[in-house]
Structures are given as structure tokens and as C-alpha cells.
Amino acid sequence: MNYEVVIPAAGQGKRMGAGHNKLLIKLRGRPIISHTLKVFLEDSSCSKIILAINPVEREIFSDLIKDLDPNKPISLVHGGEERQHSVFNALKSADEGGIVLVHDGARPFIRQSVIQQLVQTADSSGAAIAAVPVKDTIKKVENSKVAETIERSSLWSVQTPQAFRISLLLHAHAVAERDCFLGTDDASLIERLGKEVRVVQGHYDNIKLTTPEDLYFAEAILRNNQKGQ
């Protein structure tokens, strides 16, 4: 089943501390965002890629896309102040009627098998997200004191991709904008409408490259993936 993908790539990467957009940091000689784009260029079910970028980086991204020699359309749209604004703006360029995946540019290690399950689940139920069970014990802390230990068995760490019927996600974003609601992921915009969001179990190595030590983990994951080829 075909889908389109929205990739927010307009962040500043402040926590990575590279002094520029972290997606341009190179892993094995190629920018992080090129690794992410490659997954979708290699997936024949992906019909179109919509990349939300910071307009001042347009030339850099255009050149990088040229180097990838894409076999399908990649549209560049302007990102916004927050990730949610970037996604909403990109969504407006999606063809209504099908399934859209939203996937962070900073997660280059997503697997095709998970993408496929997400698309199928979103097609049948409206919304599906990738997540993994939490491994650590999670405590709520207030003023440096433990307020509560949260029962771990029901906790999942949520990732992207998140897959949706395009019409549903567009509606959820429009309502969130009207209500001035800012969520930390797209599924939360659906949840607040009282709609069901299904969970597809993903993989622990689908990390988001966020802080400098994530670059070491990324090298290890790349090494491991290469061994398996």
C-alpha cells in the first residue's frame, strides 16, 4: 500500500550543540538527513517525500537532494517555529485521500518492516505509532524528591514514524492550531480528539540523534547493520 512521508528537518539541533542543524552532521561521509531520505527513496511504496526545512538552508538541502539522485518527488516546504508547525505546513502539500507517515529527519535507522505495519494499521484504524516498551524504571520527581514510581508495564517510549489517514491528521492539526495546543508528537493531536491511536512495536535502535553521545550509538548501529548485509 502506497503512502507519502512528511519529514520535519527544520530544527536547529540545539541539544546536539554542533552550532548548526544537526541533520547536516555527517555519518560515514553522508549527512544524517541523507541516511533518512535513503530509506524512503528505497521503499517502492513511498510515492512522495515532503521535507520541511528552514528557508535559509534551502540551497544546502537542494544540493544534498541532487546528490541523492531521487527516483521520486521530494518537495521542499518551509518549516516553522516548532516541530508541529513544520509538520502542519508540510502536510498541506500532501495529496488528500491516502496515508501519510510523519518521520523525524533525525531518525535514520527506521526499518521498512515497521513502516509497512504502520501504513497498514493506519489504513484500517486511522492512526498508528511506532513505540518500544520502556526499559528503565520511571519516577516522577518534584524538587529533587521522588513523588511517585510509575508502573512500568504500561509505559512505552514513543518514536516516529507515526502514520495517519491524511484527512484525519490535517483535521487534528487544524483543531490544535485553533486551540493554540502544542503537542510533543502528532499522535497527541489525534488523542485529544478522543480518537484511537494504535501502537506498533518498533525497534530500540530507531534512535533519534539528539545529543552528542547519540553519534557514537549511531556509528555502532551502522556498523552492526553493515555486518548483517
Q: Rule CB under 6 A: which residues touch ligand CTP?
A: 8-15, 22-23, 52, 79-83, 86, 104-106, 208, 210
Residue nearest to ligand CTP (CB): 11
The secondary structure of 59-90 as a DSSP string is HHHHHHHHHH--SS-EEEEE--SSHHHHHHHH
Residue with cell 513544520: 86
Residue list 1-20, contact with Mg ion (CB under 5 A): 11
> Residue 122 CB, nearest distance to ligand CTP (Å)?
20
Residue closer to ligand CTP by CB (options 9, 39) is 9
The distance of closest approach from Cβ of residue 107 to Mg ion in the complex, given in angstroms and rounded to an integer, is 13
- Which runs of E-coded beta strand occur in the chain? 3-8, 26-27, 30-31, 46-53, 74-78, 99-102, 127-133, 138-142, 145-150, 156-165, 198-201
Q: How far is CA 157 from the centre of its chain?
A: 14
**Considering CB distances under 5 to 8 angstroms, the limit depending on partner class, which of ligand CTP, Mg ion, none binds residue 208?**
ligand CTP
Q: Which is nearer to Mg ion, 11 or 79 (by Cβ)? A: 11
CA-atom Rg of the chain in angstroms: 18
Sign, CA torsion 119/121/126/132? negative
Q: Which does 89 bind (CB under 5 to 8 A by kind): Mg ion, ligand CTP, none?
A: none
- Given the complex with ligand CTP, which of 26 and 152 has the nearer CB atom? 26
**At its nearest, how many Å lie between ligand CTP and the CB of residue 170?**
17
Beta bridge partners of 77: 52
> Grid coordinates representing 189?
493531536
Query: Which positions from 9 through 68 interact with Mg ion, judged by CB under 5 A?
Result: 11
Q: How far is the CB of 21 from ligand CTP (least distance, A)?
A: 7
Residue 108: CB minimum distance to ligand CTP, A:
10
Cβ nearer to ligand CTP, comparing 44 with 164: 164
DSSP 143: T
